[in-house]
Structure 1
Amino acid sequence: MPENQPNYTLLSRQLDGLLSGEKDLIANLSNSSAFINQFLPNINWVGFYLIKNNALKLGPFQGLPACVDIEIGKGVCGTAVAEKKSQLIEDVNAFPGHIACDANSQSEIVIPIYYNKEIIGVLDIDAPIKSRFDKADLEGLELLVQILEKHIHI
């Protein structure tokens, strides 16, 4: 494991403990964004977008104010929903249709969140450096989202 690479297995156990016993979605998303922000180095925004009225609406996050509404199929978050798969973007400026909420963001990773086999939103993380995220981050963050999904009660 690289020196700055988080131990996602350990983090997943810690997140599971943090969310255990809480059923409120907003409370769990809020604590999850704060938790990820605390333990993931070199990021400048982490949060959630939830599907409402067939679009993505800003949810709990850590970082600067963000775009509130994102159309499905637009930007990295909307693309993750439309394609039903995680997006690992090394250079957001090279991503067609990137929505620049923060000009300092250079790379991004987005993980879909499922409830009853339907996407209900995404985890979105931005970084102020290009190529911040790698395959280990993708797999580790997908693991954290799986833990979060266990604690979703809608």
Structure 2
Amino acid sequence: MTVPGHDYIGLGVGAMVFDARGRVFMTRRGPAARNERGSWEFPGGMVAFGETLHDAVRREFVEEYGMRVEPYRLLDLFDHILPDEGQHWISATYLAAHVAGTPAIREPDKCTEIGWFELDGLPGPVSLISARNLERYLGEP
């Protein structure tokens, strides 16, 4: 059996989701997370065969947190290479709005904490990909 991100480059998608107050949603990766366990991230997941990137973002947030989000702009594509974990991903990160639903942890092995944070008060440590997302976001005018 081949494994995405290990045996071939995996395709992931995630989002910086903002609420009406301008706070961003973050999650802490749990013991069953695919990589970077214990770090905080702008969440997402793998894109399924035949699924659009936007649909993957929407699905992941419903499945993992019970919330509806609407991606409105691609932030960027990122090389997410983790040599120490033997993984290589291409990650598309979107900016998205929280549309409905109170976030809750639905996969406690993959996620141990969630929250809404001001950009100048993010928890840490932040995952490699989320640090790059944040740098790209803050570098924009």
Normalised to the residue count of structure 1, the TM-score between the two structures is 0.29
Normalised to the residue count of structure 2, the TM-score between the two structures is 0.30
- Greater helix share, 1 or 2? 1
- Greater strand share, 1 or 2? 2
